[in-house]
Amino acid sequence: MDLQRYLSLLNIPNKERPDENAFPVWAELHGLPPAYLAMDGPDPLRDEGYLYEKLLREARVQARTDHYEMPNWLVQFPDLPTAGRAGIELATGVRWLLQVGKYTL
């Protein structure tokens, strides 16, 4: 599914599409706390996740990503090698956020 098809399913009126609350890639990102993004292969917004990471880094926001070629429910099947790795990486990503995310205004 491409982004245009996905957006049509959301049924967002054209006048609201530039809204940064609906599309954070249009928001001012400087000063945001660190972000951890875990994306899966079949997600129609996976590429937007990578774009968001790029924009965060350009805004000097610490960002970290992990990517899995399986659906996001893969951690429910711990016997799969990818699921085991994903569980460890997700926990590591959250730990990283807790360590670097001491955000102050």
| 32-85 residue pLDDT tens | 999 999 888 777 888 888 989 999 999 999 999 998 887 777 777 778 888 888
- Tell me the C-alpha distance between 43 and 5, whole Å: 13
What's the token pair of residue 47?
């590429």
In a domain, 81, yes or no: yes
In a domain, 80, yes or no: yes
- Tell me the C-alpha distance between 85 and 17, whole Å: 36
In a domain, 105, yes or no: no
**What's the pLDDT score for residue 30?**
92
Sign of CA dihedral 23, 25, 26, 32: positive
User: What is the span of the domain harbouring residue 17?
Assistant: 3-100
**What's the pLDDT score for residue 54?**
92
**What's the pLDDT score for residue 1?**
56
- 63-68 and 35-40 beta bridge pairing: parallel
**What's the pLDDT score for residue 105?**
44
- Tell me the C-alpha distance between 46 and 75, whole Å: 18
- Tell me the C-alpha distance between 59 and 74, whole Å: 32
- Reported pTM: 0.71
Q: How many domains does the chain have?
A: 1
Residue scoring higher pLDDT (35 or 19): 35
